[in-house]
Chains A and B, each alone.
Chain A
């Protein structure tokens, strides 16, 4: 269960990872490897700590037990080669699309000439050409997240961490962006950890789906998604997609029902 798909070298290694805030144990005993070209989808009921886990992987939060290594290096602070896309976009409202996309490169100490060459490339890639000079408040939520994606991609990360990236956009935009992301990933496959609370999204994106459950959260089940790539709209119509969807649904639901009726103390 701990093996990565395709037998490739793992890029992310989690060993006994646990996080506690004072009395609250958020998750514990997470052991998992993520391969070099693997997409791991993490799903679980809200409040299960999937976003917290993602922040621990990035090194934004410190673990309280175990360790997470990326390319052999222990994650205690954000490092080069890892980029994150945020649920609420995290764009700087006083910067234009161009400046927002350039932000990561600027911090990485990229020379000016290279920034002005690379930024338009990624703006084109996410379909924002022509909007370089716009401010975030002038464009739609979907476009803002395209910008957030371009900012993460522009530093050419080897690990892409996605924190419910399409959770704050409407349903139609969400679908469009999912297929956009699949298309972009196909062009340049990297390690991706994708946190979501949508079962469809988890199955569509992931090579494996990790279901977190319980209090504290543990790895309840890891479901291998053996759908062929490249994936597109036709994937959604496959009987295999429906079957996998049911499996994830089953793994999630007993607990979800229990959680819904749990009385808060």
Chain B
């Protein structure tokens, strides 16, 4: 690609980002500091908290919570999804519950989790898990159900055991679908993380937002939000990359 072509392709993005930053910066001069701060002060606050080590500590705490919940969701959700697809009776029995829970805004369950499990680390992981697990289960089941019966027949014709059928056919076939679920779970888990940090014992980036709000430290508040946004964007990109990486063959299937 020539430099000119590259420029004309990326120009709208660069211009749009610069315009957004300028708008943020300027708009702060026409509003009150109680709820809005310019970009420059936000970034300064971010640098200051990074220097003091607060940012690192809070971000690590948040990521620890997030990754724990997401990992458990993947480890439980994907195998459970394939199992549901393979064992028909189990699927029919549980399908409605899964749909119900998939549709439930998980925030609604937080007070219940609070009264059941209190303020520790575990209930917060449970919240992230609940946010993340259903898209994984749902997409995996749908994927595993859509498996072409011919492929199972091939496996049977070559005298595959049930175990080998899982390794050779069910899991590789379902992987791209599970990945779609995981991409959604990555986004929903982040919502779960902030919700858990708000409504259960305050910690991490959620706590930073709350403290900023309570202390009228608007730049600090915006700095934490900005960080979560950047984190979300990076994780979504990672999710999309993973999905593409494991789904090369799927585009040609349907």
A residues with a Cβ closer than 8 A to B are: 58, 60, 77-80, 83-84, 86, 88, 90, 92-95, 103-104, 107-108, 135-137, 155
Contacts and interface: CB of A to CB of B under 8 A. Distances in A.
Contact residues on B (Cβ < 8 Å of other chain), bracket: 20 to 34
Interface string B123-167: 000000000000000000000000000110111111110001000
A77 B161 CA distance: 12
Contacts, number: 54
Interface of B: 150-151, 153-160, 164, 168-169, 172-173, 175, 248-250, 252-253
Contact of B172 (A60, A83, A94): A94
A60 B159 CA distance: 10
A90 B153 CA distance: 8
B158 A104 contact: yes
B157 to A, nearest CB: 5
Contact of A90 (B151, B168, B172, B250): B151
Contact of B157 (A84, A88, A108): A84
A135 B249 contact: yes
Given A78-B156, A79-B159, A107-B160, A94 B249 contact: yes
B157 A60 contact: yes
Nearest to A100: B154
Contacts of B153: 60, 86, 90
A95 B250 CA distance: 12
A59 to B, nearest CB: 9
A90 B149 CA distance: 10
Given A88-B150, A103-B168, A107-B164, A93 B249 contact: yes
Nearest to B252: A137
A157 to B, nearest CB: 11
Contacts of A108: 158-159
20 contacts: A58-B157, A60-B156, A60-B157, A77-B159, A78-B156, A78-B157, A78-B159, A80-B159, A83-B158, A86-B150, A86-B154, A88-B150, A90-B154, A92-B168, A93-B249, A93-B252, A107-B159, A107-B160, A108-B159, A137-B253
Contact of A92 (B159, B169, B248, B250): B169
A137 B158 contact: no
Contacts of A137: 249, 252-253
A226 to B, nearest CB: 32
A92 B157 contact: no
Nearest to B155: A107
Contacts of B155: 107
A138 B252 CA distance: 9
Contacts of A135: 248-249
A94 B177 CA distance: 13
Given A107-B164, A135-B249, A137-B249, A90 B150 contact: yes
A213 B249 CA distance: 41
Contacts of B249: 93-94, 135-137
B159 A94 contact: no
A138 to B, nearest CB: 8
Contact of A107 (B158, B175, B250): B158
B170 to A, nearest CB: 11
A103 B160 CA distance: 10
B67 to A, nearest CB: 28
A77 B156 CA distance: 9
Contacts of A78: 156-159
Contacts of A79: 159
Contacts of A136: 249
B244 to A, nearest CB: 14
A215 to B, nearest CB: 25
| Nearest 10 interchain pairs by C-beta | A137-B252, A90-B154, A93-B249, A94-B172, A84-B157, A104-B158, A107-B158, A90-B150, A78-B159, A78-B157
Interface-central residue, A79, A103, A136, by most chain B CB under 10 Å: A103
A37 to B, nearest CB: 23
Given A86-B150, A86-B154, A93 B159 contact: no
A86 B158 CA distance: 12
Contacts of A77: 159
Contacts of A94: 172-173, 175, 249
Nearest to A88: B150
Nearest to B161: A107
A103 B158 contact: yes
Best-buried of B154, B157, B168, B253 by chain A (most CB within 10 Å) = B157
Contacts of A103: 158, 168
Q: Residue among A77, A78, A83 with the most chain B CB within 10 A?
A: A78
A139 B37 CA distance: 58
